[in-house]
């Protein structure tokens, strides 16, 4: 008996993809590209203008161009060669101050957030609401009171009075909680309590749980808080200009303002050169912390 081989089934026709017209593409996807391109131009235009002004001979920026015709390092030479305006001192002062303030802000806000997230105590809700309400008022509204306090402190203990970076750092740390504590607390609330309970069963204390378990899991939000604090300290001007007058103790924001403060001074070239150099640490810190910001370290933490 001869076996019959069934005939192969006819292949289904491959659907042909219709080519989308330019009008349809523009209506569906094109406008999104145009909006993104416009946002990119708006964001990059000031940066390109500052870079151009930093490498041009023209001391003003009114007649500058995006691409300088004859690039020069003259503005950087003037920036570092003026003994009356010690840019290098301002740079070191700002970076040390911003780093210390960022680290202390993370520690203070992290400790407060841990207490509000994990402990239940009398006045907890009131304290959280108070921290939130305080942030409704900008810090410079209390500038007069801060100045008087710093004057009185300087009469007793000058190292943290006026014209001291330590005193300015303490003022900045006065606002370390508030929104930062709320932000970190919200992240701590997403970390399961089972982790704490398992560690306590093994004999861990609250301090060991905080330093060894909670903080490593909360690195993304701590990186965000530290980065925002670092950038905010570098760019802060109002409080620093009121509390720091000594040329050797000024921060970058206060010191660079002196190049353009006078009515007839046209020192935009050195000003832009100094601003360009001040942006380098911010970019480096952001690139370093980016891998922590985009990673979800708490994903799957209760598995196993």
On average, the pLDDT of the chain sits at 81
The helix (H) or strand (E) run that includes residue 135 is none
**Which residue carries 């001291």 as its tokens?**
164
pTM of the predicted model as reported, rounded to 2 decimal places: 0.81
- Contact yes or no for 105/113 (Cβ under 8 A): no
How confident is the model over 145-163, as pLDDT tens digits? 889 998 898 888 888 888 8
C-beta of residue 131 within 8 angstroms of C-beta of residue 181: yes
Pick the CATH number of 79-293 from 3.40.50.300, 3.40.50.150, 3.30.110.30, 1.10.3720.10: 1.10.3720.10
Please enumerate, as own/partner, the contacts of 32-40 that have beta carbons within 8 Å and a separation of 24 or more: none
d(CA 237, CA 254): 6
How far is C-alpha 158 from the geometric centre of its chain's CA atoms? 31
Give the SS3 label for residue 175.
coil
The mean pLDDT value for 268-295 works out to 84
What is the Cα–Cα distance from 241 to 250, expressed in whole angstroms? 8
Contacts of 88 (CB under 8 A, 6+ apart): 80
Q: What ranges do the domains of the chain cover?
A: 29-72, 79-293
Q: Tens digit of pLDDT for each residue in 89-133?
A: 999 999 999 999 999 999 999 988 888 888 888 888 888 888 778
Length reported for the chain: 304
Distance of CA 210 to the CA centre of its chain: 24
From 60-74, 148-162, 163-177, the region with the lowest mean pLDDT: 60-74
Alpha-carbon span 248 to 26, nearest angstrom: 57
Among 1-10, 61-70, 173-182, 267-276, where is mean pLDDT lowest?
A: 1-10
pLDDT band at 13 (very low <50, low <70, confident <90, very high): low
How many Å separate Cα 40 from the centre of its chain? 20
């Amino acid at each position: 008996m001869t076996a019959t081989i069934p005939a192969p089934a006819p292949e289904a026709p491959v659907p042909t993809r219709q080519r989308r017209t330019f009008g349809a593409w523009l209506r569906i996807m094109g406008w999104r590209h145009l909006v993104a391109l416009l946002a990119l131009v708006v964001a990059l235009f000031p940066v390109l203008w500052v870079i151009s002004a930093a490498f041009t001979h023209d001391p003003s920026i009114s007649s500058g161009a995006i691409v300088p015709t004859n690039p020069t390092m003259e503005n950087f030479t003037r920036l570092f060669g003026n003994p009356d305006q010690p840019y290098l001192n301002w740079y070191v002062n700002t970076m040390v101050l911003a780093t210390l303030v960022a680290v202390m802000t993370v520690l203070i806000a992290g400790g407060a957030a841990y207490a509000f997230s994990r402990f239940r105590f009398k006045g907890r809700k009131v304290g959280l609401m108070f921290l939130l309400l305080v942030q409704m008022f900008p810090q410079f509204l209390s500038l007069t009171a801060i100045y008087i306090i710093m004057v009185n402190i300087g009469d007793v203990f000058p190292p943290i009075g006026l014209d001291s970076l330590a005193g300015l750092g303490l003022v900045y740390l006065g606002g370390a909680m508030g929104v930062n504590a709320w932000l970190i607390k919200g992240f701590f609330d997403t970390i399961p309590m089972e982790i704490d309970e398992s560690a306590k069963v093994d004999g861990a204390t609250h301090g060991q749980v905080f330093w060894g378990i909670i903080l490593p899991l909360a690195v993304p939000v701590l990186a965000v808080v530290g980065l925002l604090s670092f950038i905010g300290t570098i760019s802060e001007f109002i409080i620093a200009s009121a509390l720091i007058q000594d040329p050797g103790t000024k921060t970058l924001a206060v010191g660079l303002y002196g190049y353009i403060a006078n009515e007839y001074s046209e020192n935009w070239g050195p000003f832009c050169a100094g601003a360009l150099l001040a942006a380098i640490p911010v970019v480096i810190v952001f690139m370093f912390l980016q891998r922590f910001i985009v990673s979800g370290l708490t994903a799957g933490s209760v598995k196993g």
